[in-house]
Structure 1
Amino acid sequence: MVNSEVSIPHIEPQNGQSTAGIRRSAPWWRSAAIYQIYPRSYADGNGDGIGDIAGIRARLPHLRELGVDAVWISPWYPSPMADGGYDVADYRDIDPLFGTLAEAEALIDEAHELDIRVIIDIVPNHCSDQHPLFRAALEAGPGAPERELFWFRPGRGTAGELPPNNWTSAFGGPGWRRVTEPDGTPGEWYFHRFAPGQPDFNWDHPDVRAEFETTLRFWLDRGVDGFRIDVADCLVKDPALPEYVDGGPVPWADQDGVHEIYRQWRAVLDAYDHEPVFVGEVWTPDPVRFARYLRPDELHTAFNFPFLQSPWDESALRKVIDSTLAEHAPVGATPTWVLSNHDTTRHVTRYGRADTSYALDGRRVHGASADLELGTRRARAAALLTMALPGCVYVYQGDELGLWEVEDIPHELREDPTYQQSGGEDLGRDGCRVPLPWGDEAPDAKAWLPRPAAWAELSVREQAADPDSMLSFYRRALALRREQTALREGEFTWLPSAPGVLAFRRGPGVTCLVNLSDAPVPLPDFDELLLSSGPLAEGVLPADTAVWLR
């Protein structure tokens, strides 16, 4: 195997670009470990079975001891909860389900006191159908300027009874819903890429742009350290509303006009001196077009979904790592590495299946058998892999406990609109959103989604007392990652390795080996074992095991 080196160069601003906010030392987010909090399921502070801000504040010491640099908090805004809070009714307040704005401000301050930065979700593609702007559009009627802020169109057919085109919802079914006009008659249709309760904004309208720039400043003024941008590539649509042809261009995503929006947003962030960051949820499969979102005057980072989707296979993972570094290097962007999130099957389950890859086209459907012992062993090895790669790493709540996908939730308790809109064909995302087990809950405490009884052994209290637990392992790994400069800033170099093994060096000091084969392989000579994901045999690296060596 030929050695190769990949580094991320510093990119100077292009002619005409602002230099505001550009720093010569590496910004904090270049190598950060960021922990995702799904607030409804993280920690319950008032005993009602639903996670809240009080619970997050009470569990900040857990995050500090875990060793993360920042948290990303999924939406906490007022919402009817048609899509778990991603249907926002007010972008500048807190839902009473979670607490108050004053509590959110206190959380930001308390996190900062523990050297933990706070990134919050922003949902710009769509809002709730209860948002004042959409309610005003409904009440104003056809042709009113209020409707120009959304995608209202007359229907086709002799009486407008057919939707304007064939665009669909990502959750299943049609992407258009017909409204009843103020006079009680069937009227126009509006586009919703997701649930019907989530009308899409028309980002060609200047009032929409002004509304969101105000929202950015509202939260930046309160000290937030950045924004995770929901479906960041979908804001701009083809205004001609062409029919979608399977396999052809997607007219509701990755339109060129979206980049002007992010250049405007970046100018807002760069006016603040505490190094706030953008991370985009960008599912664009074209690597060249993906990199455009990461140019120096647009988003700082974007999620690396090909890595999350990759099977547990040496050649597939190496290909993804190589392509990721190659995509990011020309624009000087920082890669991200993530194994799970609130939308995807937990990787302990995925890695225990015969097919270890992940896709959005039905791979969420439960029922495939999973060897959870095997999945856990691979999850530990995958954690060392992600933490050794150059860039920033994300930990989804519960990853540090080794939680698996809960697949036996009673149908009547499922809330994900994917389940509802697919007619039950796709059981949705509730299985990765089951509340965490802390181990100190009241005996009669009930969570909004039921926890498996077996999770009692995976609680934070139980694992904190076990030096061999997943939690203890994550704490050691994140501490080493912070201590070892090579793991944060060192050059990346592939090393010769046996078939089925990933081997690379970070800087002059740390080597990472991951055995993805089904047989032990010899370990190279080394001076010190920094950490292993599982027990080592004499002189060999067992299957599905990773090590950091000096």
Structure 2
Amino acid sequence: MTISSAHPETEPKWWKEATVYQIYPASFKDSNNDGWGDMKGIASKLEYIKDLGADAIWISPFYDSPQDDMGYDIANYEKVWPTYGTNEDCFALIDKTHKLGMKFITDLVINHCSSEHEWFKESRSSKTNPKRDWFFWRAPKGYDADGAPIPPNNWRSYFGGSAWTFDETTNEFYLRLFCSTQPDLNWENEDCRKAIYESAVGYWLDHGVDGFRIDVGSLYSKVVGLPDAPVIDKNTKWQASDAFTMNGPRIHEFHQEMNKFMRDRVKDGREIMTVGEMQHASDETKKLYTSASRHELSELFNFSHTDVELPSSAKTWSHLN
């Protein structure tokens, strides 16, 4: 890759000029004819990718998962989904990527995990479990005429309907901004954050990754109290939660803390690139996220351009970028 410092105020970085090739592992290259792409399949095409002029590969989630959201519902951050191969296959892929002079970037999905993750299984087991506060549990607001529990607030899931799922184990709801099996992690809990950093970030830094594409990186900080959202769409009782979940009060603190964890963890001098999926933000907020002196994100992308001329009630987004 060519690194230029033509602008006097721009410090050259490998990720500023790198061409990144995204790989969706499920459909990229199937090495064993089981109908699914896999790590060995990706490895077999690395020379081809390099010949195309790519400087780095970014692989969408390949972690162990029930695949309710095509891998964005992670049951174990430290394990490759067996259909894609083994951890050793992934480590070999990282090594080969580096030997070819390219960088390896992986997806970091830590706003939520799978309901099959051991953290959530513990959290849902009882109201007194030590990990109960690692997720957002709330009692029903009440019960309707048929005796069905009413969700704690009027937030809408990005996948439609209420953002809350009722769990009969303890007769409370848990927050999930996405599908019903993707409970949101509670970043207000310091022990939870430390576990996220260690398992989802540190484990892969220790195995040589060069960066992270950070999934829904603006949603970690929810407004305390989780109040009802203003009624914007009068055609539904479920309303967009953005005012209370996107670019929240502690979001910059959380990204600075995670960035510091990365810098402290890496001992071999490599610079870790982070690109955040930050959905919607003002220009000033975008600058806060990416200011080099603030140590939050290397860069970001958002969906402002995809919503041009759309009414506010129609503005939405998905994991597909």
Fold in common (TM above 0.5): yes
Q: Tell me what 2:274 maps to.
A: 278
- Residues 57, 104 of structure 2: 8 Å contact kept: yes
Q: Are 1:250 and 2:235 counterparts?
A: no
Partner AA of 1:235 in structure 2: Y
Matched residue SS, 1:203: coil
Partner AA of 1:199 in structure 2: P
Shift of 1:250: 1.4
* % identity of equivalent residues: 35
Structure having greater relative contact order (Cα 8 Å, sep ≥ 6): 1
Matched residue SS, 1:259: helix
Q: Distance in 2 between matches of 1:310 and 1:63?
A: 32
Match of 2:300 among 291, 299, 302: 302
Q: Tell me what 1:241 maps to.
A: 226
Q: Distance in 2 between matches of 1:360 and 1:67?
A: 41
Q: Distance in 1 between matches of 2:72 and 2:316?
A: 22
Residue-by-residue CA offset, 1:98-150 (whole Å, 9 max, x unaligned): 001001000000011111100000111000000001001111x2244321000
Q: Tell me what 2:157 maps to.
A: 169
Structure possessing the higher radius of gyration over alpha carbons: 1
Q: Distance in 1 between matches of 2:242 and 2:106?
A: 31
- Residues 134, 185 of structure 2: 8 Å contact kept: yes
Q: Map 1:4-153; keep pairs closer than 5 Å.
A: 9-10=9-10, 26-139=12-125, 141-153=126-138
Shift of 1:363: 8.8
Q: Tell me what 1:458 maps to.
A: none
Shift of 1:304: 4.6
Number of matched residues?
298
Unaligned runs of 5+ in 2: 1-5, 233-240
Unaligned runs of 5+ in 1: 1-5, 11-24, 312-354, 365-417, 419-427, 433-550
- Residues 269, 277 of structure 1: 8 Å contact kept: no
Q: Distance in 1 between matches of 2:99 and 2:307?
A: 37
Q: Distance in 2 between matches of 1:118 and 1:41?
A: 19
Q: TM-score, normalised by structure 2?
A: 0.86
Q: Tell me what 1:346 maps to.
A: none
Matched residue SS, 1:145: coil
Q: Distance in 2 between matches of 1:190 and 1:95?
A: 26
Shift of 1:258: 1.2
Shift of 1:305: 3.5
Partner AA of 1:147 in structure 2: R
Matched residue SS, 1:119: strand
Q: Distance in 1 between matches of 2:176 and 2:83?
A: 25
What is the root-mean-square deviation in Å for CA atoms of aligned residues?
Answer: 2.6
Q: Distance in 1 between matches of 2:272 and 2:214?
A: 13
Matched residue SS, 1:224: coil
Shift of 1:270: 2.2
Shift of 1:269: 2.3
Match of 1:290 among 249, 274, 286: 286
Q: Are 1:268 and 2:261 counterparts?
A: yes
Q: Distance in 2 between matches of 1:64 and 1:306?
A: 31
Q: Distance in 2 between matches of 1:223 and 1:181?
A: 40
- Residues 280, 302 of structure 2: 8 Å contact kept: no
Match of 1:190 among 158, 169, 174: 174
Q: Map 1:494-513; keep pairs closer than 5 Å.
A: none
Matched residue SS, 2:165: strand
